[in-house]
Structure 1
Amino acid sequence: MKDAMFCFQCQETMRNTGCTSRGVCGKPADVANLQDLLIYLLKGIAFWGTRARGMGVIHEDTNLFVAQALFATITNANFDPDRFVDYIREAIQRREALRAEAQARCEELHGNPCTGNGPDWAGWQPESYEIEVLLEKATQVGVMADETLNEDIRSLRELITYGLKGMSAYIDHAYVLDETDSDLLHFIQEMLEATTNDKLTVEELTDLVLKTGEMGLRAMALLDQANTNTYGHPEPTQVYLGVRPGPGILVSGHDLRDLDELLQQTEGSGVNVYTHGEMLPAQAYPAFKKYPHFAGNYGSSWFHQREEFDTFNGPILMTTNCIVTAKDSYLGRLFTTGQAGYPGATHIPDRKAGEQKDFSALIELAKTCADPQPLEDITITTGYARNTVLAHAGAIVDAVKAGDIQRFVVMGGCDGRHKTRQYYTDVAETLPDNTVILTAGCAKYRYNKLDLGEINGIPRILDAGQCNDSYSLIRTAQALAEAFEVDDVNDLPISYDIAWYEQKAVIVLLALLYLGIRKIRLGPTLPAFLSPNVIDVLVKNFNLMTIGTVEEDVAAMMAGN
């Protein structure tokens, strides 16, 4: 029997081989297949876009659409099949408009008719946009559709594609804040086109993987600039994890502009605003601290939301990925926006030019809801992004030279359901008292409530922020290399023990590989989409490692291995 779907893009994929009936993430088969078809059609836009640019035909809105559509396909972002039908329709409309202008320009330049539809992904059109019609085509274009494809070629193509998905998320966040880089959008199309090129060898695709990492680093820098230029540099902040009297709105995901506009619209309304999951680090931005109703953080990492959303009682706004299968008890209070989507949840449309999104529906609903139920009554610290850490670089260098700090351990990345992720809590507790943990992403929820103390006033857990803020960790390592006057960051007393789950973590990994970072431990498992030969290349060239036992890994890291 043919599988209902195939997806192996996340760390929790079934048996570490692939989900074939329903995603472990909760993604149903129809959504998985529609996502496959959407990516297929985005390659069609890339086919015409890369050729059109050579003739001076550039559709920047379409270029951005490609990134936004890729963002919608990352793990836990959008489970709404109707939204993907709309994405597919728009992809075809944009592709055809680009094709028509490119062919007209070609004829104008050469004096001869320029016709044809190109390969199937560049010309296929459905008989209708009925979901059954689209799903029939989708089954022909998925990851495993070509059973004869060399597994190493498939592996590298998917590694590039998943890196592009993560990069697209960062780009979309930056563009929302009016920080743009058209070269990044063009690069995405060039790489999508490359994944259709049967002439490219394993060696050439490997080079493109590292090029994807290079451009991913550029995308992370763009987002860092967008966030800090708009909201200031994060500063060390004690965040309350309890609740206040009064109704509330809970904001999850990553998009800071959505939070900003919601805070503005709830000012003076009597409604408190709380962060959840990856939105926690927003508490550290100076621009948000002026709002007295910005109440604190509620709950923990993404996979606990079914219980935490229940007890919150008020509306929940999902601004990006990190949605799990919703319970009926709170589905009526669940709102999505941006590229996020969930069937049955109310979707807040994109903002019109010069206007804010309209969050009035959430605000009015919140006023009718009970107060949030408290989960805990403690504070935690965030806000140790690059600007803060680099401001204390002198003290950090002195502490290292004095032997007070023996090693930094980068434990950024993602949290997840697997019990094996207890490893990261145990590592944090086992590391000697003269080590400092550098983190970003929701992996920190495995250890950010531990009392690990300080070293000469420097907290032993330095939380740089969201996975979107991984650039801070990279800049910190580069700045320490300058401070210690070493040419190679691998000579620094820094170890990398990374947890991954979805595609934004993939692009961070590729950026680290591009920078030549070696001896990265990646867990809980290596990606299922990496073939044995591709893994061998990464092990040979970069000493990429899987995690082992806590005791063995801590001992190895302390020894510089």
Structure 2
Amino acid sequence: MFCFQCEQTAGGKGCTKVGVCGKQPEVADKQDQLTCALVGLARAAQGKTPDEATGGLVMKALFATLTNVNFDAVRIDEFKSQVEAAKAKLGGAADLDWETLWQGDQDVVSLRSTLLLGLRGMAAYARHAWLLGKKDDEVTAWLYKGLRAVGEDHSVEEWLGLLMEFGQVNLKCLALLDEANTSAYGHPVPVKVPTSVEKGPFIVITGHDLYDLKQLLEQTEGKGINIYTHGEMLPAHGYPELKKYPHLKGNFGTAWQNQQKEFDGIPAPVLYTTNCLMPPRASYADRLFTTDAVGYPGLIHISGENGTKDFTPVINKALELGGWQEDRTFTGINGGTELMTGFARNTVLGVAEKVIEAVNAGAIKHFFLVGGCDGAKMGRNYYTDFVKKTPKDTVVLTLACGKYRFNDLNTGEIGGLPRIMDMGQCNDAYSAVQVAVALAGAFNCGVNNLPLTLVISWYEQKAVAILLTLLSLGIKNIYLGPTLPAFISPNVLNALVEQFNIKPISTPDADLKAILG
């Protein structure tokens, strides 16, 4: 096997024996074969108009190749069979030679891999929107175009052009997902979320898919079962159409990489709607359920037609296990017992005048967007320390699971606004972009001239997609860590540094001094 698509990859170079994530060589090879079959499907689709079901299949199959999503060789084979059948309906075409997927000139492999990994991230976003009935022909068409490009020869300049074009299309995809979520569930509002768990039966739901949560809430209503979010599902509490359910009680646990400890012996089922799934321990494997693109050998999978699902097996398991006998209080990594979320674009832009006044009065000197993916590698405490050290006259915007490093901190307020504002999931990056654009408009300057610094932690492919979108918007001076991607070659890195001044993180003190002077 060879896999270097995530931040934790072995030796910072690539997993060749077994994935650090727990992915076995057989599964890694089958995912590569699935990827190459998708390239073949994209080739067969050129000049034709595939039906919507085929576009949905491309999204779901690409989603299954993301880190920590699908560890099940049987399910990957099923995806490949479906892709081959769809390709045959379009007249057929040759698959990409999977043995050469990661081989060739170092810089070409780097650029090709960056595009492919970005496509995987965008497919996940497009899948969420697609399940809510929101589709964009340009986004779907670019999935086909990008897959074809992965199997073609291009100059370095052409690859860079494709990456910037992809970034712009991914922005449209993020806007589509934003529209899908807000039209279905309303615009998020600020809300305080407890980290305690009440006695009695409960279900933990993790991942990103709000539609799965909505269905689970509907199916558990009046059954004496409480629902707790985990990981990237935390921002669900801010959506009016989800928070109206009184049995949506709070958030259990912290970031995804702590699940093996936090789920150990839990007297409740856990439903995985998307990544991030880690190989489960025996103490709780019998109570894990997967759905949609997620899979793991031996776990019960909940399937459904076009996203509509029956979660009865999960509900029955919750009633069987019964939960804890008494209320329990849990804390974040910094000891906090309450989390805030719901500061999406509608909320932040709703108080834009107040923010602008605070900037003009000198009450707010700088904005930081500290967010992205969390992970288990050493060095992630940088983000906790960075936020702790930010001056009291600065605001920290955050999104994605990287916030679990500091979202239970009480850093105070500025003019009635909390200094830490959680804008949502990685899926909600569109909110951050819109806020930055609105502030730039208010101050009559470019985004790069704002008192705004992006301090990004990356882990997997959705972070790659978002980074390419930010670069396509011309955003510069991004601090990126905790380590640089293994798939970025030295020459490609130099090109990105030269054009966008991307900076590897160093230490919180040194970086804050460089940013604030």
TM-score by length of 1: 0.89
Is 2:251 the partner of 1:297? yes
Q: How far apart, in 1, do the equivalents of 2:444 and 2:65 lie?
A: 42
Displacement of 1:343 in angstroms is 0.9
Contact 2:125 2:174 in 1 (8 A): yes
Q: What is the distance in 2 between the residues matched to 1:512 and 1:217?
A: 9
Alpha-carbon distance in 2 for matches of 1:427, 1:92: 48
> Residues 352 and 411 (structure 1 numbering): CA distance in 2 closer, same or farther, change over 3 Å?
closer
1:383 corresponds to 2:378: no
The reply to whether residue 397 of structure 1 matches residue 389 of structure 2 is no
CA distance in structure 2 between the partners assigned to 1:118 and 1:60 by the alignment: 20
Could you say which residue in structure 2 is the equivalent of 1:367?
A: 319
Change (3 A) 1:497 1:120: closer
Q: What is the distance in 1 between the residues matched to 2:142 and 2:242? A: 34
Aligned partner letter, 2:76: F
Per-residue Cα deviation, 1:505-544 (whole angstroms, up to 9, x for no partner): 1111001000000000110011100111100110000001
Inter-partner Cα distance in structure 2 for 1:120 and 1:71 = 19
- Describe the superposition over 1:468-516 as per-residue Cα deviations: whole angstroms up to 9, x where unpaired: 1111111110010111121x10000000110000000111100100000
What does 1:112-123 align with in structure 2 at a 5 Å threshold? 118-121=93-96
Alignment partners' CA distance in 1, 2:31 and 2:219: 34
What pairs with 1:454-493 in structure 2 (closer than 5 Å)? Answer: 454-486=413-445, 488-493=446-451
Structure 2 unaligned spans of 5+: 332-336
Q: In the TM superposition, what are the counterparts of 1:415-434 in structure 2 within 5 Å?
A: 415-434=374-393
Q: Say which one has the larger Rg.
A: 1
For 1:441 and 1:69, the matched residues in 2 are separated by 23
Measured in 2, the distance between the counterparts of 1:141 and 1:269 equals 53
Equivalent-residue separation in structure 2 for 1:67 and 1:357 (angstroms): 19
Task: Output one character per residue of 1:13-53: Cα deviation in whole Å (capped at 9) or x when no partner.
Answer: 111100111111111111111000000000000101113x2
In structure 2, what is the equivalent of residue 442 of structure 1?
401
Aligned to 2:22: 26
Instruction: Tell me the CA shift for residue 452 of structure 1.
Output: 0.5
Aligned with residue 212 of structure 2, among 258, 275, 297: 258
8 Å CA contact retained: 2:199, 2:328: no
Deviations along 1:362-381, one digit per CA (max 9) or x if unpaired, are: 11111111324735162111
Using the alignment, how far apart are the partners of 1:214 and 1:362 within structure 2? 39
Partner of 1:188: 143
Runs of 4+ in 1 over 3 A off after TM superposition: 117-121
Q: C-alpha separation between the residues in 2 aligned to 1:316 and 1:429?
A: 32
Cα contact 1:37–1:142 (8 A) shared by 2:
no
Cα distance in structure 2, aligned partners of 1:418 and 1:537:
27
Does 1:166 pair with 2:162? no
Distance 1:352 1:460, change over 3 A: closer
**How many residues are aligned here?**
510
Equivalent residue letter for 2:113: E
| C-alpha contact (below 8 Å) 1:9/1:529 kept by paired residues | yes
State the AA in 2 paired with 1:370.
G
Give the aligned partner of residue 247 of structure 1: 201
- Structure 2 distance, partners of 1:195, 1:435, is 42
The runs of 5 or more residues in structure 1 that have no matched partner are 100-116, 122-136
Query: Deviation at 1:118?
Result: 4.6
1:86-125 paired onto structure 2 within 5 Å: 86-99=78-91, 118-121=93-96
Q: 1:546 corresponds to which residue? A: 504
Identical positions, percent = 47
Report how far residue 141 of structure 1 moved: 4.7
Q: In the TM superposition, what is the alpha-carbon distance from 1:222 to its structure 2 partner?
A: 0.4
In structure 1, C-alpha distance between the alignment counterparts of 2:106 and 2:51, rounded to whole Å: 35
Distance 1:351 1:362 in 2: 18
CA contact (8 A) 1:413 1:498 kept: yes
Partner in structure 2 of residue 15 of structure 1: 11
1:223 is aligned, of 148, 152, 177, to 177
Corresponding residue SS for 1:419: coil
Structure 1 pair 548–352 and aligned structure 2 pair: CA distance change class (3 A)? closer
Q: Separation in 1 of the partners of 2:454 and 2:370?
A: 6
1:191 maps to a residue whose letter is G
Any idea what SS the aligned residue of 1:412 has? strand
| Secondary structure class of the residue paired with 2:59 | helix
- SS of residue in 1 equivalent to 2:102: coil
Deviation digits for residues 158-198 of structure 1 (CA, Å, limit 9, x no counterpart): 10001100000000000111111122111111111112112
- Partners of 2:164 and 2:53 in 1: CA distance: 27
Query: In structure 2, how many angstroms separate the alpha carbons of the residues matched to 1:187 and 1:365?
Result: 41
Cα 1:207/1:421, change in 2 over 3 Å? same
- Which residue of 55, 58, 65 corresponds with 1:66? 58
Pick from 414, 423, 437: which aligns with 2:373? 414
TM-score, normalised to structure 2, is: 0.97
Instruction: Provide the rounded CA distance (Å) in 1 between the counterparts of 2:422 and 2:489.
Output: 33
CA separation of 1:444/1:35 partners in 2, compared to 1, >3 Å: closer, same or farther? Answer: same
Q: Is the 8 A contact 2:87 2:93 kept in 1?
A: no
RMSD: 1.3
C-alpha distance in 2 between matches for 1:503 and 1:120: 23
Q: How does 1:302-321 map to 2 (within 5 A)?
A: 302-321=256-275
CA distance in 1, matches of 2:234, 2:491: 39
Q: What is the DSSP-based 3-state SS (H/G/I as helix, E as strand, rest coil) of the residue aligned with 1:497?
A: strand
Contact preservation (8 Å) 2:265, 2:284: no
